[in-house]
Structure 1
Amino acid sequence: MKKRLLILCLACLGMINNGLFAQETSPRKVFTLDEGWECRPITTVNRKAPFTPVTIPHTWNTSYIEGTTLYERKTVVYQRPLEVTKEMDGKRLFLYFEGVNSAAQVFLNRRTIGEHLGGYTAFCLEITDQVKKGENLLEVWASNAYRTDVLPISGDFNVNGGIHRPCHLIITGQDCITPLFYASPGVFIHQENISRETAGINVETHLSLKNKKQGLKLKTTIADASNKIVASNETGISGDIVRQPIQVERPVLWEGKKNPYLYTVTVELYDGNQLVDRMVQRTGFRYFSVDHEKGFFLNGNYLNLYGFCRHEDAVGRASALLPEDYKMDMELIKESGATAMRLAHYPHAEPMYNLSDENGIILWTEIPMCGPGGQAFTGFVDTEGYKDNARLAVKELVYQKFNHPSICFWGICNEILVSDGKRFVEYDNPIPFIKELNGLYKSIDTSRLTALATCVDQSYYLGCSDLIAWNKYFGWYKDAAPSASKFFDDCKKSSQRIPVGVSEYGGGASINHHQWPLSMEDRADSHFHPEEAQTFCHEGNWESFMKRPYLWAKFIWVFADFPSYMRQEGEKDGYNDKGLVTQDRKTKKDAFYFYKANWNTEPMAYITSRRFIHRMSDKTDIKIYTNLKEVTLYLNGTKIGVMKPDELKRVIWKNVQLCKGRNTVRVEGKNGKELIVDNCVWYCLGD
C-alpha cells in the first residue's frame, strides 16, 4: 500500500493550474496524493474488516442501488500513509483538497486537524505541527448524507460522495504566499482599467510570514504569450497583504474564441536575493458589459452568447473525472460552435476553467444554492447553518477562481422559489438572503456581473442581481416553442431595464426513440422521448432567440445526459435525457447538429432522424441540417432535388416516397471544390 509521493511541478499539473502549484525551480514543492488510498463505510466498525484500495479522484456513486434509482448517501472513511522525509525538516506542510463531497473531516494520526462543509470548492489545512517524521496515517471521513447546513439540499442531479477531485501535499518555506486564504492561489489580479491602449491592473498577494523580518520583498512580472516580460513591479513587504499596481501598454486583449490571449503573472517572494516562494497565474485582459436592449459586449464589441449548461459526470466515474473527460467535453463544445457555457449547479473543477480560458469560452459559474424546481421540498431554509455555508461557498468560489478571464458571471442561485400562488409553494422566503449574497459577491469582486436563474415570476427577483435569466422549456412542457417570443418580449418590458437572458431551455430525447409524423404533447412524465421531439423544441426556441439580441445569453439544458435520481421519464428511469450528446459522449443527437449548422462555420451537412432505421410509413419528410449554400438529395441513387437552407439552416423535402425494404439516403453539397457528403440507410416495413 505504501508509495512514496511524487513531486509534481506546474507543467505536470496543467489540468489543475490554479497557481497553488508553482514552477519546478520554486522552493515550493507539491506532492500528488492520488494513489495508496483505501476506503470502507464508517458503518463497518470491525477493526479487522478489509479496506478497498482506490485511486483519487474517487466516488462510491458510480451507479444506482440495483433495481432502484436511489444512490448511497452515507459516510466513508478514506485512509493512506503520509510519509514525512528529512527533506521536509524546517518546512511548512499543507494538505490541499480540490473537492470532498459533501462534508469532510480530516484526521492525522487519529487526531482532528480540520473539517470542511461543501463538496465543490477546495479547502486547505496546515499540518506542519501535527506530523511526525516517518510514516503518518492520513484519514478523511467523507459524507454525502442529507443535511440542511451543506449546499445543495436539493436539486435535479446526484450529489456524488467521496474525494471526487484531486488532493495534494504542498511544502513551502516558513514564509510563503499563503494557500490558506480560502484555498485560493493567494494572488488576485484586479483588472481596474482595461482598454486597447493600456491594461491597468493591481496584483494583490496574501502572505503567511512566520519570520516577519526586514528585507522581504515581492517581485511581480507579467509575460506575454511568447514569454517576454512586458511589465513588472518590485515592492518591499511591510504586512501580510501586498498590492502592486502594474500597467501593460498596448495589451493584446482576451477576445473570447476570436483570440483567447493569455498573459502569465509570476509573483516571487524574496528574502534579500534568495527566492523564498513563487506563484504563477495565467489571465487575460478584457472588459465587458451587458445592455438591456443590445445584449453582451466583450471589449466594446457585441458577442452573441450561446452554449450549454454542463454537469460534471462521466460513465463509470460520475463526478470523479479525469483529465481526458474535461478535454473530451471541451472538444465537443468547440465542435458545436458554442461561445459560452453555464457551469451548473455548483463550482466545477479547475480544468474546465483553464480550458475555457484557453479556448475563449465565456462562463457563468455558480454556487450550489439550487432548488428542486417543480419537485417537492425546498432549496433554501432560513437557518444560520445553511446561510453560513452559502456565504462560505461564495467566498471560496470567487477567491479560488478570481483570475480566470473566462468567468464573466457569478451565479447566486437556481430555482430558489418564491410562492407564486399557483404551482410553487415556498418554505422560507429566500429574497432577503439572495440580496445579501449579491452584496457579498459585489464586496469581493466589483468587476463581474451577478446573475440568477428563475422559473417563476421574475418580479420577485428584480433587484436581487445584475442580470435575470429564465429556465423555460417551451415546446416540451405544454406551451409551443413559438410562444417563447412573446414570453421573453414581455419579460424584457417588465424587467425594469435589468437585462433578461435564458438560463435553461430544451427537451429530452432517446436516440432509440423515434416518431413520424411527430405528435407533440406534454412529455414531462412520458417514457417515450423521440429524438424528433427534441429537435422540434430546439428549432422553435432558437428561431425566437436568434432574432432577439437583447437576450444576454442562451444556455441549452443540457450538454450531455446525466444521472438524476428524481427522473421517472424517458427510456431509462433515473436519468435526465435532455442532453445533446449521450452520457458516454459517443453519440451526438440530431439537435447537436442543428446547433453546429447554426453556430459553427465549418462546412457540414447532416441527415436527421438517421437512427429511425425501421419505418412503417412509406412516406416521410427528409430534413437536412447544413451551412452550405445548397445541397442535393439522392434516394436510392435517384436525384430528388436541390435546395437552399432556410434561416435555421434546414433543408426539408416533404413527403418523400420510400421504397419497400432498404433505402439509401444521400445528401451532398460543395464548399468551393470540397464535396461534403452524408449518408444513412432506412428500411421501410410498410406498404
Structure 2
Amino acid sequence: MLKHKSLLWIWLVIISGYNCAAQRTGRETISLNDQWEFQKPDAQIEKIILPHTWNDKDVLDDVPGYYRGVGVYKRKLKLDDSVKERAVFLVFNGVAQESEVFINGKSAGKHIGSYTKFIVPISAFLNYKEDLVEVRVNNRFNEDIPPLTADFTFFGGIYRNVSLLITSPIHFSQKENGSSGIFITTPAVSALSASVRVNSVVENSSSFDKKIKIINSIYNANGGQVTSGSSTISLIRGEKKSIVQDIKSIKNPSLWSPKNPYLYRVVTKIVDVKTSEVIDQVSNPLGFRWFRFDANEGFFLNGESMKLMGASRHQDYDNLGNATPDALQIKDVELLKAMGGNFLRVAHYPQDPLILEACDRLGILASVEIPVVNTITESEAFTNNCLNMQTEMIAQNFNHPSVVIWAYMNEILLRLKFSNDKPRQQIYFDHVRELAQKLDSLTRKLDPSRYTLLINHGAWDIYNKVGLTKIPMIVGWNLYSGWYSGAPEDFAKFLDKHHKELPNTPFMVTEYGADADPRIRTNQPVRFDKSVEYALKFHQVYLNAMLSRPFVAGGMAWNLADFNSETREETMPHINNKGLLTIARQPKDTYFLYQGYLLQKPYLKIASSQWKERTALADSGKLLSMQNIQVATNLKSAELYLNGKSLGVKEALDHIIEWKVPFADGINQIRVVSGDQSDQADIHFQLQPFQFSDQIPFKDMNVLLGAKRYYIDNQTHEIWMPDQIYKKGSWGYVGGEPFKGTNNRISYGSDKNILGTENDPVYQTQQVGIKQFKFDVPDGEYDISLHFAELVGGETKEALAYNLDNNHKTEAVENRVFSVSINETPFMENINLAEDFGYTRAVQKKTRITVTSGKGITIDFNAIEGKPILNAIQLKKVY
C-alpha cells in the first residue's frame, strides 16, 4: 500500500509541475506534437504526430517529382480560465515553407521560410473553452523564396517540434525574430578574466505600469553561482524596452574549446520589485572563448592554432525525410565528435535548435547559413526574404558559443542565367553582388563578433570577376577535382592558387567528396564507379593537401551522411551518396579513414569490415582468391592475421595499411593488431572455380556485364561480380565493349534511374555488341536469368547543375532489335527493349535448362538491327 501511495505522490508532482513552475517563473512550455490531423487537398484525413512531412515516400519512388503544394494541420487546444490573464504563444521550430496559423478560423500569423523558428501570439484569438488550431502549409515553388534550386529535397510539412508557450503579460519579448529575447556577448575574454554583456528585451503587454528588476546570474558547470548583476526599471503598459547589463571581472574563466567544452549558464530573470515574485526566467548557454582567422596561418582558438576539420550536415534521415526525431539529430553531432571532427558546417540552412545545443555541449565549432543556393530572383521580395532569413538565423542562434561563422550564399553562380545575352547576364551578376553585399553588411551589423562567409564552387574566374571573393571575411570553396571535373591532384593546385592570388583572404574548403555507394566495392577503383574504394583514395588526397597547408583554415567533408535529393538518379536514385555515413547513419570505410586522420588517441580499425560478403574467382586453379583488406589507423604499423596465421607487419601510408589476403571459401576471420590495439572481422567468401573442372563446387554466380565492380544486394544478399572475357573451361562474354555514357562526366556505365528495380547498379552497365556468353559447366540442371535495360534514349532531362563536366553529346538512339538463343534453342525472339518494355526499364528473363553431353551453356545474341546488349546474367545450379 505504501508503494502505491508513493507512486501516486510522484505522479501528482509530475502533473502539477507546470503549475509550480508557473508560480515560480511565470513561464510554461508544453509540447504540442500530439493529436494532430493532417490532410492534403482531395485526400483523406490522417491522424499524425509531429514532426511530420508529406514527402517521406514520394521522393523515393520512380515517378519524377514530388508533391509540392498545400497541406493542412488541425488540432484542438483546451486552456482553462487560469490562462486568460497571461500571454499565450505557439512556437514552431520549422515549417516548410509558407505557413499561416489560424485560431478558431482567424489568421493569427504568417511565416515565410522552411528553416527558422517563428512564434505566433494567440491570446487575442482564444475562447478558453475548446480552441481550434489550424496551420496551412505550402512547399510550392515560389520564385521569391529561397532556396529556388538545390541538390537536396524541399520536404513539406510541420517537420520540427511545436510547443505552447505561456508567460506572464510582462515577459522577455517574443517579437525578436524567433529568439529568446536575450542576446549575450563576451566583449573581453582571456585566460585571466572575462566580461559578459547581456541585452534583454522585455515587454509589458499588461494594462498596468510595472517596476521590475532584471537579474542576470552566471552559473558554472557544477551549478554554482559565479556572479550576478541587476538593473531596476519602470516599464509602462504596452512598452517594449532593451536593457543592457555589463558583468565584468570574471576571474580565471574556464575556456570553451573542442577539448574542453566548458559551459556556463546565464539565467536571466524578471522580478516584480514590489512582491519579489519571479515573473519570467530564461536560461542561455555561455562559453568563454576568443578566435580569429588568419590568411597565412589559418584558425586560432583561445590563442592556439587549430585546423578546423569536420563535415557538413543535412537534416533528413532514412525513410523519415526531414521529420527526424530529436535523438537521431543529436546522434549526428555525436557521430561527428566520435569521428574526431571539431567543426560542423550547418548546411545549407539553419537546422533544429538541438544541433547547436549539441555542438555547444560536445565542443564542435560551427557555421550556419541561409538557403540562398545556386541562383537568385532579381526581385525586392526575394531580397527581403533573404535579409529576413539572415536576421532570424542570427537572432535565434546568437547565444551559442559553438557558432563562429555566419554564411549566406552557396555556389550562387552554379546556374548561370542569360548565357546567350551577355549584357543582361552582367545585370544579373550585379544583382547577385548587391545581394551578397547587403547580406554581408547586415550580418556584420547584427553580430560584429563573428565572421562572415560566402561559399563558391570551383569556378575561380567567374567568382573573382563578379566580385564575390572580395565581400566576405572568409571565402569558402566547394571543390570536387577528381569527381565532377579534373583529377584529385588538381585540388592542391587550387589551394595554392587562392593563397597566391588572394593572399589576404582567409579561406576554408567547405565541400569536397565523391559518391560512395556502400553496396559497390572494387579492387580496381576508378572515377565514377561509385565505389567506396575510390572515395577512400579521393579523401586521402584531399586530407593530405589540407592538413599540410597552414593557410587552409579547415575542411568540411561533403557530407556527414548520405541525404535525399529527389532529382538525382545514379546508382542509388534520389540519394546523394557522398556521406561518410549512410542515410541510416551506418559508417562507411571513409568514416573510419577520418578517425585514422583526426582522432588523438590510438586507433586501429578494419575499414574493409563493411565489405563482409564477397565473391571472386579462385586464382589459377587454387582454392584461394587474393583480395584487398584495408585497415585505417593513426599508428605507424600493424600486423594482420587470417584465421590465426600472420600475414606480416606493414606500415601505414596515408593512414591506411593494405594487405592482399588469400581468402578461402566460407568464413574467414581477419584480425589486426598493433600494440594493445586490435580489431577483427568475419568475412563470408563465396569462392568461384577458376575452371568448372576444379575441386571447388559450383553453386551460383551473378555477373555484371561491362563492369569492374562488385555489387551487394542488401535485401537478398546476392553478390554480383565483374565480368570477364570468355576462357575455355570457365565462363565469360564473347564480343562487344562496355557501355559508355553520353556525357564527359559519366565515363562508367549509366547514371540513369532504372525503373522497376531497387538494384539499379545491376542494370547500369552492359556489354554492347555482345555475341555470346558461355559457361563451360558440367552436365546438370541450371537456372539462367538474363537482365536487360535500354540505357540509350527516353525522356530528355535537364542536365543537373552539379555535373560540372556534364557536356552531353546527342544520344545516338538506334532501333535495337535482337534475338537470344540458348544452346541453339530460341529463347527470346526479335526483342526491342525500348518498344517492348520502355527505356531504362529493368527486364529479367529466366529459364531452366538441362546440360548434357558436356556441351556446357552457350547463349547467342543475334543482331537483327543495331547491337545486342546484355546487362547482367545469373547462373544457378539446381542439381
TM-score, with length taken from structure 1: 0.90
The aligned amino acid for 2:378 is: D
Q: State how far apart, in whole Å, the 2-side matches of 1:313 and 1:76 are.
A: 19
Q: Which residue of 232, 239, 257 corresponds with 1:236? A: 232
Match of 1:396 in 2: 392
Q: How does 1:360-379 map to 2 (within 5 A)?
A: 360-371=363-374, 379=375
Is the deviation greater in 68-77 or in 336-345? 68-77
CA drift at 1:149: 1.7
User: What per-residue deviation string (whole Å, max 9, x for no partner) do you get for residues 582-603 of structure 1?
Assistant: 1111x31111111111111343
Query: Could you say if the C-alpha distance between residues 469 and 64 of structure 1 is closer, same or farther in structure 2, counting changes exceeding 3 Å?
Result: same
CA drift at 1:213: 2.7
Match of 2:672 in 1: 668
The aligned amino acid for 2:209 is: K
Query: Could you say if the C-alpha distance between residues 422 and 651 of structure 1 is closer, same or farther in structure 2, counting changes exceeding 3 Å?
Result: farther
Q: Which residue of 294, 307, 312 corresponds with 1:309? A: 312
The aligned amino acid for 2:583 is: Q
The answer (yes or no) to whether the contact 1:506–1:558 under 8 Å persists in 2 is yes
| Identity %, equivalent residues | 28
Match of 2:351 in 1: 348
Look up the SS of the partner of 1:332 in the other structure: helix
Look up the SS of the partner of 1:129 in the other structure: helix
The aligned amino acid for 2:494 is: F
The answer on 1:498 being equivalent to 2:502 is no
The answer (yes or no) to whether the contact 1:597–1:627 under 8 Å persists in 2 is yes
Match of 2:693 in 1: none
Is the deviation greater in 131-140 or in 322-331? 322-331
Q: Which residue of 449, 452, 462 corresponds with 1:450? A: 452
The aligned amino acid for 2:49 is: T
Look up the SS of the partner of 2:406 in the other structure: strand
Q: Which residue of 329, 347, 356 corresponds with 1:326? A: 329
The answer on 1:649 being equivalent to 2:655 is yes
CA drift at 1:676: 4.3
Q: State how far apart, in whole Å, the 1-side matches of 2:254 and 2:661 are.
A: 55
The answer (yes or no) to whether the contact 1:603–1:671 under 8 Å persists in 2 is no
Match of 2:84 in 1: 89
The answer on 1:509 being equivalent to 2:516 is yes
User: What per-residue deviation string (whole Å, max 9, x for no partner) do you get for residues 220-269 of structure 1?
Assistant: 11111111111111101256110000124224344322110111101111
CA drift at 1:152: 1.0
Q: How does 1:405-444 map to 2 (within 5 A)?
A: 405-417=401-413, 428-429=428-429, 430-444=432-446
The answer (yes or no) to whether the contact 1:7–1:32 under 8 Å persists in 2 is no
The answer (yes or no) to whether the contact 1:606–1:678 under 8 Å persists in 2 is no
The answer (yes or no) to whether the contact 1:633–1:642 under 8 Å persists in 2 is yes
Q: State how far apart, in whole Å, the 2-side matches of 1:203 and 1:630 are.
A: 53
User: What per-residue deviation string (whole Å, max 9, x for no partner) do you get for residues 49-79 of structure 1?
Assistant: 7521111111111122642242211111101
Look up the SS of the partner of 2:188 in the other structure: strand
The aligned amino acid for 1:56 is: L
User: What per-residue deviation string (whole Å, max 9, x for no partner) do you get for residues 126-166 of structure 1?
Assistant: 11111112001110001101001222111110111111111
Structure 1 residue ranges without an equivalent (≥5) = 1-5, 14-21, 372-378
Look up the SS of the partner of 1:552 in the other structure: strand
Query: Could you say if the C-alpha distance between residues 118 and 422 of structure 1 is closer, same or farther in structure 2, counting changes exceeding 3 Å?
Result: closer
Match of 2:27 in 1: 28
Is the deviation greater in 132-141 or in 492-501? 492-501
Match of 2:593 in 1: 594
Q: Which residue of 620, 631, 634 corresponds with 1:624? A: 631
Q: State how far apart, in whole Å, the 2-side matches of 1:625 and 1:217 are.
A: 58
Structure number with greater CO (CA < 8 Å, separation at least 6) is 1
Is the deviation greater in 85-94 or in 354-363? 85-94
Match of 1:186 in 2: 181
Look up the SS of the partner of 1:389 in the other structure: helix
Instruction: Give the aligned CA root-mean-square deviation in angstroms.
Output: 2.5
User: What per-residue deviation string (whole Å, max 9, x for no partner) do you get for residues 147-202 of structure 1?
Assistant: 01222111110111111111111111121111221111000002211111221121
Match of 2:491 in 1: 484
Q: State how far apart, in whole Å, the 1-side matches of 2:297 and 2:583 are.
A: 36
The answer on 1:462 being equivalent to 2:469 is yes
Match of 1:276 in 2: 279
Query: Could you say if the C-alpha distance between residues 261 and 79 of structure 1 is closer, same or farther in structure 2, counting changes exceeding 3 Å?
Result: same
Match of 2:56 in 1: 62
Look up the SS of the partner of 1:462 in the other structure: coil
Q: State how far apart, in whole Å, the 2-side matches of 1:248 and 1:135 are.
A: 52
The answer (yes or no) to whether the contact 1:7–1:31 under 8 Å persists in 2 is no
The aligned amino acid for 1:581 is: L
The aligned amino acid for 1:498 is: T
The answer on 1:104 being equivalent to 2:105 is no
CA drift at 1:649: 1.4
The answer (yes or no) to whether the contact 1:337–1:599 under 8 Å persists in 2 is yes
The answer (yes or no) to whether the contact 1:635–1:663 under 8 Å persists in 2 is no
CA drift at 1:467: 0.2
Q: Which residue of 129, 137, 151 corresponds with 2:146? A: 151
Match of 1:577 in 2: 577
Q: Which residue of 34, 45, 68 corresponds with 1:51? A: 45
Query: Could you say if the C-alpha distance between residues 532 and 670 of structure 1 is closer, same or farther in structure 2, counting changes exceeding 3 Å?
Result: closer
Q: State how far apart, in whole Å, the 2-side matches of 1:315 and 1:139 are.
A: 29
The answer (yes or no) to whether the contact 1:292–1:498 under 8 Å persists in 2 is yes
Look up the SS of the partner of 1:492 in the other structure: helix
Look up the SS of the partner of 2:107 in the other structure: strand
The aligned amino acid for 1:565 is: E
Is the deviation greater in 244-253 or in 413-422? 413-422
CA drift at 1:402: 0.3
Q: State how far apart, in whole Å, the 1-side matches of 2:538 and 2:679 are.
A: 27
CA drift at 1:308: 0.8
Match of 1:17 in 2: none
User: What per-residue deviation string (whole Å, max 9, x for no partner) do you get for residues 71-123 of structure 1?
Assistant: 21111110111112121021111111111110101111111111100010011
TM-score, with length taken from structure 2: 0.71
Look up the SS of the partner of 2:566 in the other structure: coil
The answer on 1:38 being equivalent to 2:34 is no
The aligned amino acid for 2:670 is: R
The answer (yes or no) to whether the contact 1:631–1:667 under 8 Å persists in 2 is no
The aligned amino acid for 1:329 is: D
The answer (yes or no) to whether the contact 2:51–2:158 under 8 Å persists in 1 is yes
Structure 2 residue ranges without an equivalent (≥5) = 1-10, 236-240, 620-624, 691-879
CA drift at 1:684: 4.1
The answer (yes or no) to whether the contact 1:254–1:405 under 8 Å persists in 2 is no
User: What per-residue deviation string (whole Å, max 9, x for no partner) do you get for residues 360-410 of structure 1?
Assistant: 000011011111xxxxxxx20110111111011011000000000000010
The answer (yes or no) to whether the contact 1:40–1:78 under 8 Å persists in 2 is yes
User: What per-residue deviation string (whole Å, max 9, x for no partner) do you get for residues 605-654 of structure 1?
Assistant: 333444161124744443321223421122344322112223x212123x
CA drift at 1:663: 6.9
For these two proteins, the number of residue pairs brought into alignment is 648
The aligned amino acid for 2:369 is: E
Query: Could you say if the C-alpha distance between residues 415 and 8 of structure 1 is closer, same or farther in structure 2, counting changes exceeding 3 Å?
Result: farther
The answer on 1:639 being equivalent to 2:646 is yes
CA drift at 1:680: 3.2
Q: State how far apart, in whole Å, the 1-side matches of 2:199 and 2:312 are.
A: 32
Query: Could you say if the C-alpha distance between residues 477 and 214 of structure 1 is closer, same or farther in structure 2, counting changes exceeding 3 Å?
Result: closer
Look up the SS of the partner of 2:248 in the other structure: strand
Q: State how far apart, in whole Å, the 2-side matches of 1:206 and 1:28 are.
A: 16
Query: Could you say if the C-alpha distance between residues 684 and 499 of structure 1 is closer, same or farther in structure 2, counting changes exceeding 3 Å?
Result: farther
Match of 1:375 in 2: none
Give the structure with higher Rg (CA): 2
Q: Which residue of 186, 189, 196 corresponds with 2:191? A: 196
Match of 2:543 in 1: 542
Query: Could you say if the C-alpha distance between residues 546 and 685 of structure 1 is closer, same or farther in structure 2, counting changes exceeding 3 Å?
Result: farther
Look up the SS of the partner of 2:78 in the other structure: strand
Q: State how far apart, in whole Å, the 1-side matches of 2:91 and 2:439 are.
A: 26
Q: State how far apart, in whole Å, the 2-side matches of 1:613 and 1:423 are.
A: 49
